[in-house]
Chains A and B, each alone.
Chain A
Amino acid sequence: MALQSLDIKRMSATTVQPPVARSPVTGTVAKLIDVSKCIGCKACQTACMEWNDLRDDVGSNFGVYDNPIDLTPQSWTVMRFSEVEKDDGNLEWLIRKDGCMHCEDPGCLKACPAPGAIVQYTNGIVDFAQENCIGCGYCVSGCPFDVPRISKVDDRAYKCTLCSDRVAVGQEPACVKTCPTGAIVFGTKEDMKTHAAERIEDLKSRGFENAGLYDPLGVGGTHVMYVLHHADKPTLYHGLRANPKISPMVGLWKGAAKPLALAGMAAAAVAGWFHYSRVGPNQVTKVEEAEALDAARDIKGERKEDHHEA
């Protein structure tokens, strides 16, 4: 695969026109995880920690192989183990490498109110720029896969970068490089789809008639895809969502509501101008000011109660 630029295609909470003069010649990139080839060795977790300078705590066993038990600001990928009993009495141990899916239509980026804290490169990678993050957590609720985690150390959001620093110099992500079974591969999204098609054909010939590719349309497709032996039942794989979509609240916040809000702001500005030009500057009496302060305290009090309920 050719070297990739890290030109930004989209940036959170900003209207600056991104550069468009060039685009990746080879198209976007993708990581393909073939769940049927995974042995759950967690070498990918280790390589991720090594490359990205992450060191999670030495934790505890919780009665399962999964460890660390969940994604954290220090664990950007974890293996999810599921034991599934089939109708014929046989058992399948389904092991899914979990982490950021790098959605083409990223809910985190859409939800993010901090300018430039979340970017999407022209190669498809969705990256967090922690220096711009305000720790609001909107990306967490915006993510259909429950991936970002807020660090208690600096109140900023962290997740898999798809090793954008490696990809930028023509290298595959660290997890791909280390995988001993070749379950994780990396290349252009087109090549990965071709490779997946071959794998699916092979799995079908081995009796997995519902083998298929997980590249969900609800988020515009993803730049991390799975080959599943049971693509008809993704939830078997530790609850992988069948039809992930960006939360309607994010859609409302950044979709339909955004032009309304802008229109409202514009209307307010226009009204203000008319008010100023016709009536003159506002004069506030001391009584009016005291009433306003009381009202503000009330609002703050209400907001506190809201927090308690949440």
Chain B
Amino acid sequence: MVEQICGVPPAQFQVVADALASTAVPGRAGTILYALGWTHHSTGAQTIRLGAMVQLLLGNIGIAGGGMNALRGHSNIQGLTDLGLMSNLLPGYMTLPFEGEQDFGGYIDARASKPLRPNQLSYWSNYKKFHVSLMKSWWGDAATAENNFAFDYLPKLDKPYDLLQAIELMHQGKMTGYICQGFNVLASAPNKQKVTEALSKLKFLVVMDPLAIETAEFWKNFGEFHDVDPSKIQTEVFRLPTTVFAEERGSLVSSSRVLQWHWQGAEPPGQARSDLEIMSGLFMRMRKMYQTDGGKFPDPIVNLTWPYAKPMSPSPEELAMEFNGKALVEIPDPKDPTKVLLKKGEQVASFAQLKDDGSTASGCWIFAGSWTAAGNQMGRRDNSDPTGIGNTLGWAWAWPANRRVLYNRASCDTKGKPFDPTRKLIGWNGATWSGADIPDFKVDEPPENGMNPFIMNAEGVARFFARGMMNEGPFPEHYEPFENPVGKNLMHPNNPRATSNPGARVFPDDRAQFGTAKDFPHVATTYRLTEHFHYWTKHARLNAIIQPEQFVEIGEGLAKDIGVVNGGRVRVSSKRGSIVAKAVVTKRIRSLKIDGKMTHTVGLPIHFGFKGLTKPGYLTNTLTPVVGDGNSQTPEFKSFLVKVEKA
């Protein structure tokens, strides 16, 4: 069945399965590293969950060299989610309340999960401490116990406001202004035609970017590559040139959760300003308007704390200290009340010191410890590795608590002895847990008391059965992409509703834009090349020299079918549009036998467009369908249907 669905011969599948399974013994470790190849599907979250389940079964979670690791597409995407920049998140993986959660106590109780089994840690039971400290960080004295620490200031979500939702709302004329910060939405979002129409309906579009990106010129005609009529587009576009990472200081969070400070390498060109300066300028002006003119609900704006030495230009150091957090009053030592744990205004040493009574502030609880009274821990550069297993606790700083391997209690047996003594992360020495890493566990908890390693879960163990966490249900299941060459789910051939992910959200207009294998017989997948970084480096001459012109890749079988040779031109069309590009005919893309039929794939490198130094080309999102993963709404860029013809 696996072969029938995905075209991989059983013998080859067996090779991979054997290699993975061989890591199930204590002396071996296996890791899974995934990137957009797994996430860009309508079932992406389930695939990753499945990987995590396999790793749990193999004993590869919590050990040195193990894990389920996301390779991020930008140097600081981990930082983006850490700081809660997704529309439903608050910093530190706390969540915004939903529309039905108007009651503060109810909001906290739903998230501060109590242990479900005896003597489990259930660390989220501290949720209120982290949440109140965040609200104190944002609204200071305006957040009091009496007003539930300004709970009413928080927006209450009626639905998620992810990228696809935002474009849909623009397209419906319901979202009329858009601030596009460091994001080339015309190139990055699916179905360029829809995005163009959506942006054309806006009253204003603000583009903050270091480069002259396509989005800022979506209203201009670029001939065959972007054929619009500027006289019909009334959107007012503002361009605010920003610095790039090398022209500013700050921290970047890697996918292994290491916050590494970096220093400025060059002065920005021209009138470019940092994102911090631009956002501060916007905020200061808006606050002034609310202060003088009032508004429907000015409180969250006018009461926002803005404690920076230069209000128009907060420094990265000030922000980093704010994320770490500090004591707002003198805090006595809980073990000896005659002693002082933290003086008023002192940086907290860790999130364990945060309080739920408003006496501490922390802008992002998981970052607590990154900038302590001892200074900037992210700037540390000691790469010594005392045990030789590659754990460098003195290099920069990792959340949480400078811990490098999450759930590392799982590297030991029930008695606290490491399964693999040659790769010891931590162990129980009779009194405490210690070792090459910071224990991810209650440090003085004897193993015989039965506390389990998965301390963030109320039950203390990992989950094979997800209670209400995933939209599709408790277990992963195979679903076909929304556009697929088979037309049915081979595992449920008689249930059309189970063809593609029933948990995915599809807007009606977008569903009407799905094609079928009858008209679009070839499978398309988008990807990146080593020579380029997203849509940035086509603006850099050196990168443009080493990969100068748009191409698509097709296998030898398809090339023969359509009569195209290497370097010839092909037209690739989907229900949503078409592009023309040079063809690279390659043995690397093979035809797959899917459900008994030979199926051809075309590969679409994404990097090209009509701005920059590479030869002008099409944005590949001219072709892609608007549907996201059922949980994360990450667009399905990795499998959809097209037709490839000789151009």
Closest approach, in angstroms, between the C-beta of A205 and any C-beta of chain B?
16
Instruction: Tell whether B582 is near chain A: CB-to-CB under 8 Å.
Output: yes
Choose among A59, A63, A64, A93 the residue that contacts B548 (Cβ–Cβ < 8 A): A59
Q: Give A44 to B549 CA distance when docked, in angstroms.
A: 20
In the complex, chain B residues 471-492 whose Cβ is within 8 Å of any chain A Cβ = none
A71: min CB distance to chain B, Å: 13
**Residue with the highest number of chain B CB atoms closer than 10 Å, among A41, A42, A59, A61:** A61
Contact B614 A63 (CB under 8 A): no
Residues on the B chain within 8 Å of A57, using CB: 545
Q: List chain A residues, Cβ under 8 A from B548.
A: 58-61, 67
Give complex CA distance A138, B417 in Å.
Answer: 71
Contact of A39 among B530, B542, B583 (CB under 8 A): B530
**A116 interfacial by beta-carbon distance below 8 Å:** no
Interface pair B614/A58, CB less than 8 Å apart: yes
Instruction: Give chain B nearest CB distance to A148 CB in angstroms.
Output: 20
Please indicate the chain B residues that have their CB under 8 angstroms from the CB of A65 in the complex: 547, 584
B543 within 8 A of A: yes
A60:B583 contact, CB within 8 angstroms = no
A62 adjacent to B546 (CB under 8 Å): no
CB-contacts of B375-427 with A (<8 A): none
Inter-chain contact B582/A63, CB cutoff 8 Å = yes
A309 in contact (CB, < 8 A): no
Distance in angstroms from A92 CB to nearest chain B CB is 10
Contact B585 A60 (CB under 8 A): no
Is A91 a contact of B530 with CB atoms below 8 Å? Answer: no
Task: Return the CB mask of A40-67 against B: 1 if under 8 Å, else 0.
Answer: 1110011001100001111111111101
Q: How many angstroms between the C-alpha atoms of A63 and B552 in the bound complex?
A: 9
The segment out of B218-226, B452-460, B565-573 that lies at the interface is B565-573
Query: What residues on B are CB-neighbors of A91 within 8 Å?
Result: 587-588
- Are the CB atoms of B546 and A46 closer together than 8 Å? yes
The smallest C-beta distance from B11 to any residue of chain A, in angstroms, reads: 11
B262 on the interface (CB 8 Å rule)?
Answer: no
| In the complex, chain A residues whose CB is within 8 Å of the CB of B549 | 59-61
CB neighbors of B among A73-126 (8 A) = 75, 83, 85, 91, 93
- Of A67, A75, A83, which one neighbours B547 at CB under 8 angstroms? A67
User: How far apart are A289's CB and chain B's nearest CB, in angstroms?
Assistant: 58
* Interface size counted on chain B using CB atoms at 8 A: 27
Interface check B147, CB cutoff 8 A: no
Asked whether A62 lies within 8 Å of B615 as measured between CB atoms, the reply is no
The dominant DSSP class at the A interface is: loop
In the complex the two chains form, what is the Cα distance from A93 to B553 in whole Å?
A: 15
Number of A-B contacts (CB under 8 A): 73
Minimum CB–CB distance for B424 against chain A, Å: 27
A93 vs B543: C-alpha distance when bound (angstroms): 22
Q: Is the CB of A45 within 8 A of B583?
A: no
B613 in contact (CB, < 8 A) = yes
Q: A40-B530, A58-B614, A63-B568 are in contact. Are A68 and B545 (CB under 8 A)?
A: yes
CB distance from B540 to the nearest CB of A (A): 9
B164 to chain A, nearest CB (A): 32
Q: Which of B546, B550, B566 has the most chain A CB atoms closer than 10 A to its own CB?
A: B546
Q: Check A58–B545 contact: CB distance below 8 A.
A: yes
Interface bin, chain A: 20 to 34
- When C-beta atoms are compared, the residue in chain B nearest to A39 turns out to be B530
**Distance between Cα atoms of A182 and B531 in the complex (Å):** 17
Measured between beta carbons, the chain B residues less than 8 angstroms from A42 are 530-531, 546-547
- Asked if B531 and A55 sit within 8 Å, CB to CB, the answer is no
B291 contacts A by Cβ under 8 Å: no
Q: Are A46 and B543 in contact (CB under 8 A)?
A: yes
Query: With A and B bound together, what is the CA distance between A107 and B530 in angstroms?
Result: 35
Taking the nearest CB of chain B, how far is it from the CB of A292, in angstroms? 54
Distance (Å) between the CB of A177 and the closest chain B CB? 15
CB distance from A9 to the nearest CB of B (A): 34
Whether the Cβ atoms of A83 and B530 lie closer than 8 Å is no
Chain B residues near A85: list those with CB within 8 A.
Answer: 587
Chain A residues in 8 Å Cβ range of B567? 61-64
Residue of A with least CB distance to B613: A58
CB-based contact B541/A58 at 8 Å: yes
Q: Is B22 an interface residue (CB 8 A)?
A: no
The residues of A that contact B615 with a CB separation of less than 8 Å are: 58, 60
Smallest Cβ-Cβ distance to B549: which chain A residue:
A61
Q: Which residue of chain A has the shortest Cβ distance to B586 in the bound complex?
A: A83
Residues of chain A within 8 A (CB-CB) of B588 are: 83, 91, 93
Bound complex: CA of A62 vs CA of B549, how far in Å?
9
Interface string of A234-253 (1 = CB under 8 A from B): 00000000000000000000
Interface contact B544-A58, CB-CB below 8 Å: yes
A-B contact pairs, 9 of them (CB 8 A): A41-B531, A42-B546, A58-B548, A59-B549, A61-B567, A61-B584, A63-B585, A65-B547, A67-B548
4 closest Cβ contacts across the A-B interface?
Answer: A63-B566, A63-B567, A41-B530, A61-B549
